[in-house]
């Protein structure tokens, strides 16, 4: 018996990194999973997940004995997001858990951020979360049950030089999630936020073949009171699991998985 037997979870950015770890963690507790990923190309310094990655993760999830629906979806596209939620409800019979995890990063001092970089960040990290929440809420309201977790970042808890545009999106989703939490609190739906510090995923690019991270990541690591370079995706999945198995008493909260990085701030 798993804690999530019979539940249906929808995870954006589920093909790799934290989204993949979340899919495996929820599947290990018995949830059937829909994975949305493989977006249209973007102009970034690192590649995004492909449909092949999406199918490979779906296969790994199914090996845990649950159903998995891989759906090629770009969260920037509202129609595609609506269709993905409909396909999930049709294919898996409902929608109990939503993990709004898809995101991209780009760095740079603000006066060098291009319009294109700004739009990519806003359209994916902020508008993409709006699209998925708007599509999922009517289904959850009808069921009178829902557990929604939005992935922000420790960048949504503080200022960090060269991450102003990214951090604006990550502060933004916290305001969005807290406001929606109030709107749906009487409907059996909780909405919470997780804020990981630097996570060991393809988003955090090593500078050289020895895996030495770039200067910005190294600077963030040095600021961590717990002296380890980064956390693993599974560290974040444990926080997710806590929030989605909560009986319905925790909502509008922000859970930091931060290596102590905000301990000096508040």
Query: How many CB atoms are closer than 10 A to CB 236?
Result: 26
For residue 48, the minimal CB distance to ligand NAD (Å) is 4
Please identify, using beta-carbon distances, which residue of 8 and 149 lies nearer to ligand NAD: 149
3-state SS track over 17-33: HHHHHHHHHHHHCCCEE
For residue 27, the minimal CB distance to ligand NAD (Å) is 17
Residue 166 appears among annotated catalytic residues: yes
Phi, psi of 189, deg, nearest 5: -115, 130
Please identify, using beta-carbon distances, which residue of 168 and 203 lies nearer to ligand NAD: 203
User: Residue 20 half-sphere exposure, CB side, CA atoms within 13 Å?
Assistant: 18
Please identify, using beta-carbon distances, which residue of 145 and 243 lies nearer to ligand NAD: 243
The residues pairing with 257 across neighbouring beta strands, listed in sequence order, are: 196
For residue 187, the minimal CB distance to ligand NAD (Å) is 26
Angle at alpha carbon of residue 172, lines to 247 and 266, rounded to 5°: 75
For residue 122, the minimal CB distance to ligand NAD (Å) is 11
Please identify, using beta-carbon distances, which residue of 103 and 172 lies nearer to ligand NAD: 103
Which residues bind to ligand NAD, rule: CB under 6 A?
Answer: 12-13, 15-19, 37, 39, 48-49, 73-76, 101-105, 124, 128, 151, 153, 196, 198-199, 201-204
- Of 10, 145, 166, 171, the active-site residue reads 166
Residue numbers annotated as active site: 166
């Amino acid at each position: 018996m798993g804690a999530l037997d019979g539940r249906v979870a929808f995870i954006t950015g589920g093909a790799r990194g934290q989204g993949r770890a979340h899919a495996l963690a929820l599947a290990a507790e018995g949830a059937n999973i829909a994975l949305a990923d493989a977006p249209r190309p973007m102009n970034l310094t690192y590649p995004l997940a492909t449909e092949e990655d999406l199918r490979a993760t779906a296969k790994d999830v199914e090996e845990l004995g649950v159903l998995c629906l891989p759906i090629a979806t770009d969260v920037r596209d509202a129609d595609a997001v609506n269709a993905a939620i409909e396909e999930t409800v049709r294919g898996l019979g409902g929608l109990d858990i939503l993990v709004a995890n898809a995101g991209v990063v780009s760095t740079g001092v603000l006066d060098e951020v291009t319009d294109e970089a700004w739009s990519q960040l806003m359209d994916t990290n902020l508008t993409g979360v709006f699209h998925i929440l708007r599509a999922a809420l009517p289904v959850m309201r009808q069921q009178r049950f829902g557990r929604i977790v939005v992935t922000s970042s420790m960048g949504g808890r503080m200022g960090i030089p060269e991450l102003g545009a990214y951090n604006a999106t990550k502060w933004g989703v916290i305001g969005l999630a807290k406001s929606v939490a109030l709107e749906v609190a009487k409907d059996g739906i909780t909405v919470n936020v997780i804020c990981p510090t630097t996570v060991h995923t393809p988003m955090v690019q090593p500078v050289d073949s020895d895996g030495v991270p770039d200067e910005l990541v190294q600077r963030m690591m040095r600021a961590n009171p717990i002296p380890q370079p980064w956390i693993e995706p599974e560290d974040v999945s444990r926080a997710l699991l806590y929030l989605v198995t909560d009986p319905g008493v925790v909502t509008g909260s922000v859970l930091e998985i931060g290596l102590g990085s905000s301990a000096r701030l508040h």
